[in-house]
Structure 1
Amino acid sequence: MLSIANRLLVRILLALSALYWRVIYSELRARYDVSPGFRFNGKNILLYGDGDIGLGENSYIGDNSTVHASSGFNVKIGVGCHISSNVRIFTESVKPDSDFRVKPVPAKAGDVTIADACWIGANVLINPGISIGENSVVGANSVVTRDIPPDEIWGGVPAKLIRKKRQ
């Protein structure tokens, strides 16, 4: 009998969790420019900041991912993009060569654009001011520190060209 009660409780909790995330994501859709066909593909996906965030049709972002747009900056994700889990996209960050003892710590900032039909692997960090060209791939566990041209595969820390796509 306990097993049946446990299974029922688990189903109820899963349904409540799904409802919770539907409410959270509907609030994000209302606040930012999220296309109706964009999918929040998991839990704990955070969009925040006073900047603009635009998420394209038939694209998705995986669980535990974060997109931040500082005031005056924007993040645009194109049509048909695959953004995996645990991806971080920021429009503002501190300058790593700064003296952190001096306040305020200088920041670098810039728009982030991911063009149509891109694939961003798991655990990728995309720094401020980056553009990723159409039909490009960023491999898992990469740190993107410079623009990526269209139709290329990049990976590593920092991300570097692996090869141009064979089409």
Structure 2
Amino acid sequence: MGLRHGARAGLLRVVRPSTWRQWARVANFLGYDGAELREASVGAGARISPTVSVRNGRRVSVGAGAQIGASCSLWAGDSTGRIVIGDHALFAPDVFVTASNYDFDAVPGPVMAAPKREADVTIGANTWLGARVVVLPGVSIGDGSVVAAGSVVTKDLPPGVLAAGVPARVIRKRGEQR
């Protein structure tokens, strides 16, 4: 008794060269991120989700006991921009930190052809970045600060504050009565 038509079609898809090429692309992408993470400096007891995306890992430092959640992106600059994450920092899912951005005003034409501006990003110890927070190049977030979900951090935040919004601004000091 032969295979039913649906099963035969599924089997044919598995043996197609295009299917294997696609799997090779996926494996290459996942391996690339893994290699970049291996180049990062990671402190003792730090926990990093396997779905974290790291670029230019040799310029990324994650402190001891830090926790980097699912689907976060740590994109250091191509030549100088570093990302330094303090001890016991907590990143919720989908946090995006970049130390590089296109200088789209530098030249006319495609943005991708523009030079990049790189600046270090420092995220202090005992900080908490909520889900889908974006941190832009050159920003420092002080120790003990909390950044609310969905915020975009464009400027430095002092230690021990709660910040929220687009762009993020200080709402209050932690521990203050509301």
TM bucket (normalised to shorter chain) is 0.7 to 0.9
Greater fraction strand: 1
| Paired AA for residue 73 in structure 1 | G
Q: Counterparts of 2:71 and 2:108 in 1: how far apart (Å)?
A: 28
- Can you give the 5+ residue segments of structure 1 that lack an aligned partner in the other structure? 1-19
Q: Give the structure 2 partner of residue 120 of structure 1.
A: 129
SS at the partner of 1:154?
A: strand
Q: Counterparts of 1:51 and 1:72 in 2: how far apart (Å)?
A: 10
Q: Give the structure 2 partner of residue 37 of structure 1.
A: 45
Q: Give the one of 61, 64, 87 matched to 2:68.
A: 61
| Paired AA for residue 72 in structure 2 | S
Q: Give the one of 91, 94, 97 matched to 2:102.
A: 94
Q: Give the structure 2 partner of residue 14 of structure 1.
A: none
What are the equivalent positions in structure 2 for 1:15-164 lying under 5 Å apart? 27-28=35-36, 30-40=38-48, 42-49=49-56, 51-70=58-77, 71-95=79-103, 101=109, 104-164=113-173
Q: CA deviation at 1:28?
A: 5.0
Matched-pair contact (CA < 8 Å) for 2:53–2:74: yes
Matched-pair contact (CA < 8 Å) for 2:33–2:54: no
Change (3 A) 1:96 1:50: same
Post-superposition Cα deviations, 1:129-151, rounded to whole Å, max 9, x if no partner, equal: 01000000110000000000001
SS at the partner of 1:30?
A: helix
Q: CA deviation at 1:26?
A: 7.1
Q: CA deviation at 1:109?
A: 1.8
TM-score, length-scaled by structure 2: 0.72
Aligned-residue sequence identity (percent) comes to 30
Q: CA deviation at 1:100?
A: 5.5
| Paired AA for residue 80 in structure 2 | G
Greater fraction helix: 2
SS at the partner of 1:86?
A: coil
> Whose Rg is larger?
2
Q: Counterparts of 1:150 and 1:161 in 2: how far apart (Å)?
A: 10
Matched-pair contact (CA < 8 Å) for 1:73–1:91: yes
Please identify runs of 4+ aligned residues in structure 1 that moved more than 6 A.
Answer: 23-26
| Paired AA for residue 133 in structure 2 | V
Post-superposition Cα deviations, 1:5-58, rounded to whole Å, max 9, x if no partner, equal: xxxxxxxxxxxxxxx9xx988755531101131101x34201111651110111
| Paired AA for residue 101 in structure 1 | G
Matched-pair contact (CA < 8 Å) for 1:121–1:140: yes
Q: Counterparts of 2:139 and 2:165 in 1: how far apart (Å)?
A: 16
- Counting matched residue pairs gives 145
